[in-house]
Amino acid sequence: MCRSVILWVLLCTSVAAHEMTPTYPKWSVTQIEGVHKTTMRMFNKREDVKYYEIGVFDKEWQPIPFVTDYKILKLDYLSHVKFDVYISSKNVGRAEYICSLSKLRGSKETKTMIASKICSRFK
């Protein structure tokens, strides 16, 4: 019980976080023959990041062609977005991961920056 409370507090007080769900998305058919789609949600709690790049990959992390409104999504600080990803039906079986990667701005300081990446998996 105590651990759950601590986890909830941590989840609710994240300072700079990147989040994408669902963990295990599913492809669904569309009205267009030969095209499947899935819907993902993202939340940006990183003040230093405004753009996230979407990618679809196979088991070997090779990129698979896909279509979204924007391949690089603009997501303001503390904003949620729901986006659809379309893929050719012939690639549905190959697609293993769908990922979002934070796009970092250049810096004028001597430092390390942290790129965050979240990958959901098609099972």
Partner 1 sequence: MNKLLLTALVLGLAGCSLFSSKVEANANITGSVESRCIVNTDTPGVYGNPNAYTLTTTPASGGQKPIVRFDVSLANAYYAQVSYPTSFSSSPSLSDTVAWTGAVAVSQSSGSDFDGYQTASTTTGALRQYAMAHAGTLWVDVQSEATYGGGQQKAFPGGNYTAVVVAECVAQ
> Quick one: which of 11, 29, 32, 67 contacts partner 1 (CB under 8 A)?
11
Distance (Å, rounded) from C-alpha 123 to C-alpha 116? 23
Please identify, among the stretches 32-40, 64-72, 83-91, 110-118, the one whose residues bind partner 1 according to the rule CB under 8 A: 110-118
Kindly identify the residues of this chain, within the stretch 30-49, that bind partner 1 according to CB under 8 A: 46, 48
* By CB under 8 A, residue 78 contacts partner 1: no
**φ, ψ (nearest 5 deg) of residue 63:** -65, 145
**φ, ψ (nearest 5 deg) of residue 27:** -85, 145
* By CB under 8 A, residue 6 contacts partner 1: yes
Nearer of residues 33 and 109 to partner 1, judged by Cβ: 109
CA 53 to chain centre: 8
* By CB under 8 A, residue 64 contacts partner 1: no
- What is the dihedral angle through the alpha carbons of 15, 117, 22, 30, rounded to the nearest 10 degrees? 130
